[in-house]
Chains A and B, each alone.
Chain A
Amino acid sequence: MSPIYAHTVKSRIADVIIWVLLLAFTLSCLIPLVNLVAISFSDNAAASANMVSIFPVNPTFSSYEKLLSDTQFWRSFMISVERVVLGLLNMVLMILTAYPLSKSSKQFRGQKIYMNLVIFAMLFSGGLIPTFMVVKELHLLDSIWALILPGAVPIGNVILLMNAFRAVPKSLEEAAKIDGASQWRILARIYLPVVKPTLATVALFTIVGHWNDYFGALVYISKTMNYPLQTYIQQLSVEVQNITDPEKLMELAKISNKTLNAAKIVVSTLPLLLIYPFMQKYFVSGIVVGSVKE
């Protein structure tokens, strides 16, 4: 696996260049985020004057204290949590869709028809406006279900699961069948434990997808009170989008409450950072299996 290099001077120089470049890549991803954390712990004057780099200037908890009493922020936070939980429950539906689709058309006669329907739904969509009208007709506007139900069958995830089910050796299923187990039982007892890594990958995608989505609420939720966290955060920078005068754009950067906004962003990112280390090994293997399947 490891190519053995002669330790020539040239090779040493190459090593130094490689390390420098890699460090540059890594720091480019790290510093902006560290800077954000530093701003959130700095005092407002220093932050507005762009004096904060990677360490807080005049360290203070004042933005976090302010944030604690911001009821709208926490309301939005809880809406996002609720949404993620509903999204995870939604995985039952993904599993139940992927499992029969993973069977050969020999074993499951309708497989081809269902598969074509699913692919058709993946390729073609009515688009934003007709979907909006359906959601409206169903009186789902302004409810959390508008953020869950239209995307209840995420086809990319279903295909990922389907491929995982397909990779499970048939012999396992056949042994269980001889014992007279039903398909429900086979799915729950044999298949699900084997595809755990893929389940973890899909869970990660689901959590990240729901937690990060700001757009659904922008379309389907009209009361800002009911916005999930990302939509709430998105609205913080929304004034910028309507500016038609360069001078104003510069002014806005100065007056905005930088430290409090930074604190809001840090807290809204924290839940993802907490699950991220546990999920990393799964999403790497999950993606690789999903994309370079034999």
Chain B
Amino acid sequence: MKSKKDQTAFHLMLAPSMIFLIIFSFIPMFGIVMAFQNYIPAKGIMGSSWVGLDNFKFMLQIPDSKQIFANTIIIAVWKIIVGTIVSIVFALLLNEIRVRFAKRFMQTVVYLPNFLSWAILATVVMNIFSFEGPVNAVLSWFGIDPILFMASNTWFRSMLVFTDVWKGFGYGSIIYLASLTAIDPGLYEAASIDGANRFKKLWYVTLPGLMPTILLVTTLNLPNVLNAGFDQIFNLYNPLVYQTADIIDTYVYRVGLVERQYSLGTAVGLLRSVVGIILILSANKLAQKLTDYRIF
């Protein structure tokens, strides 16, 4: 099996990407020391003074920090829960119809928003949720006063969850549709013979058949509780809603790159990525235990 020529070929194939990984992944990792320094660009990493855990202590002291962590987790968890449910419901509904052309068409349409960027969709969303936009028009039919969604700390989070689910539910349903086709048709026939109606079949055959996939996807979503969706929030938020919508990632961007507090930004980023890794590794372990699936 092994030949010297093959080994050399393999090493050569990997060489360029390893160089890229070293430059753009491994070298930046040393930049993490900035989190333990009072980094001053003019002095560089070598010249800046060490401050131990001061940046982390400072981070925990600022009143905003609790809010930012809470915002991140609340928004992310709601997105995961609602997104999963809507994707499953859509897949189940689509599974019930037999007109192939209609099925195709609907799939094509609902997958589409996932491929559009938030830079673009932000304009669409702001339009729809604007003071005189369609959503408020519909609300007025029911006698509800118009809401300034983009500036309301009561509504902004719900709007984020709603639009994020809207963008992703179709794409999220792909995996459920795939595992629906894998359910043994014999089970449905047996259920029919036993006199099960449509709803009973859904409850006793389809849902149990879907359970492993639901479990797996939910597990793999675990690390996403820290991922509240930078692109979406960054393109939609404004200082009026920082209180409910500022998340770790947007905070790191503003503090680190806009205000150039490199050390503080790096410290917050480091904390986030350490917790993130723990979550990814746990999800991988858990998924392996539950379903024999490995991410890597």
Interface, chain A (partner B; CB < 8 A): 1-5, 10-11, 14-15, 18-19, 21-22, 25-26, 28-30, 32-33, 35-36, 50, 93-94, 96-97, 99-101, 103, 106-111, 114, 117-119, 121-135, 138, 149-153, 159, 182-184, 187, 208, 212-215, 219, 230-231, 233-234, 236-237, 240-244, 246, 249-250, 253, 258, 261-262, 265, 268-269, 272, 276-277, 280, 284, 287-288, 291-293
Question: Which residues 82-111 of B sit at the A interface, judged by CB distance below 8 A?
Answer: 90, 93-94, 96-98, 105-106, 108-111
B148 & A240 in contact (Cβ 8 Å cutoff): no
A269–B262 CA distance with the chains assembled, in angstroms:
36
- Asked whether B63 is an interface residue with its Cβ less than 8 Å from the other chain, the reply is no
CB of A183, distance to nearest CB on chain B (Å): 4
Interface, chain B (partner A; CB < 8 A): 1-2, 5-7, 9-11, 13-14, 16-18, 20-21, 23-32, 34, 90, 93-94, 96-98, 105-106, 108-113, 115-117, 119-120, 122-124, 126-128, 130-134, 137, 148, 150-151, 166, 169-170, 174-175, 178-179, 181, 185, 188-189, 191-192, 197-199, 201, 213, 216, 231, 234-235, 237-240, 252-253, 256-257, 262, 265-266, 269-270, 273, 277, 280-281, 293, 296
| Cβ 8 A contact of B90, one of A25, A212, A276 | A25
Chain A to chain B contacts (Cβ below 8 Å), 7 pairs: A3-B189, A26-B106, A50-B133, A124-B29, A134-B24, A134-B31, A240-B126
Query: Given A121-B26, A241-B237, A280-B108, A219–B192 Cβ distance below 8 Å?
Result: no
Q: A119-B296, A121-B26, A240-B150 are in contact. List 15 more A-B contacts (CB 8 A).
A: A2-B98, A93-B16, A96-B13, A111-B10, A122-B296, A126-B27, A128-B253, A128-B265, A149-B23, A212-B115, A212-B117, A215-B234, A231-B119, A261-B123, A272-B116
CB of B196, distance to nearest CB on chain A (Å): 9
Which 4 A-B pairs give the minimum distances between C-beta atoms? A130-B31, A126-B28, A212-B117, A130-B28
A246 to B, closest residue via Cβ: B151
A149 & B113 in contact (Cβ 8 Å cutoff): no
A280 & B20 in contact (Cβ 8 Å cutoff): no
B270 & A127 in contact (Cβ 8 Å cutoff): yes
Query: Given A249-B148, A292-B179, A230–B120 Cβ distance below 8 Å?
Result: yes
| Cβ 8 A contact of A93, one of B17, B231, B262 | B17
A288 & B109 in contact (Cβ 8 Å cutoff): no
A109 & B2 in contact (Cβ 8 Å cutoff): yes
B257 & A132 in contact (Cβ 8 Å cutoff): yes
A108–B149 CA distance with the chains assembled, in angstroms:
57
CB of A40, distance to nearest CB on chain B (Å): 11
B25 & A280 in contact (Cβ 8 Å cutoff): no
A29–B113 CA distance with the chains assembled, in angstroms:
7
CB of A285, distance to nearest CB on chain B (Å): 9
A134–B115 CA distance with the chains assembled, in angstroms:
30
Chain A residue numbers with a CB within 8 Å of B238 are 240-244, 249
A293–B294 CA distance with the chains assembled, in angstroms:
9
A79–B269 CA distance with the chains assembled, in angstroms:
31
B217 to A, closest residue via Cβ: A291
Chain A residue numbers with a CB within 8 Å of B235 are 234, 237
B122 & A237 in contact (Cβ 8 Å cutoff): yes
A260–B179 CA distance with the chains assembled, in angstroms:
44
A134 & B27 in contact (Cβ 8 Å cutoff): yes
Among A14, A213, A242, A288, chain B packs the most CB atoms within 10 A around the CB of A288
| Cβ 8 A contact of A22, one of B6, B26, B106, B169 | B106
A265 & B120 in contact (Cβ 8 Å cutoff): yes
A229 to B, closest residue via Cβ: B119
Chain B residue numbers with a CB within 8 Å of A272 are 115-116
A111–B14 CA distance with the chains assembled, in angstroms:
10
CB of A233, distance to nearest CB on chain B (Å): 5
Chain A residue numbers with a CB within 8 Å of B213 are 292
A4–B199 CA distance with the chains assembled, in angstroms:
13
Query: Given A125-B29, A134-B27, A237-B235, A107–B115 Cβ distance below 8 Å?
Result: no
A47 to B, closest residue via Cβ: B127
| Cβ 8 A contact of B108, one of A93, A237, A269, A277 | A277
CB of B223, distance to nearest CB on chain A (Å): 10
B255 to A, closest residue via Cβ: A129
CB of A168, distance to nearest CB on chain B (Å): 16
Chain A residue numbers with a CB within 8 Å of B111 are 280
A55–B280 CA distance with the chains assembled, in angstroms:
47
Query: Given A253-B126, A253-B132, A182–B9 Cβ distance below 8 Å?
Result: yes
A21 & B93 in contact (Cβ 8 Å cutoff): yes
B6 & A107 in contact (Cβ 8 Å cutoff): yes
Chain A residue numbers with a CB within 8 Å of B17 are 93-94, 96-97, 152-153
